[in-house]
Amino acid sequence: MCEFRAMRAPYEFDSGWYVTAGYRTLEGGADNDDVYAFAWLHYAQATVGYRF
């Protein structure tokens, strides 16, 4: 089973430029008779762009 969550905050400037900042998590693993594994990963994300 795997779960993915994300949150993002964008900001647009008047001249076509924009920035975003975000946070993501990825959670998952395996649980059966042979193996048990679990991971919970955290990511920070930043974007700078221009729309024309």
Does the model's pTM come out above 0.85?
A: no
If one counts the domains in the chain, the total is: 1
Amino acid type, 30: A
CA dist 43 and 47 (Å) reads 13
What is the pLDDT, as a whole number, of residue 28?
87
Q: Which of 31, 30, 24 is nearest to 4 (CA)?
A: 24
Q: Is the pLDDT of residue 1 over 90?
A: no
What is the pLDDT, as a whole number, of residue 12?
94
What is the pLDDT, as a whole number, of residue 19?
96
Give the range of the structural domain holding residue 39, as residue numbers without chain letter: 2-50
Question: Tell me: the pLDDT tens digits for 19-50?
Answer: 999 999 988 888 788 888 889 999 999 999 99
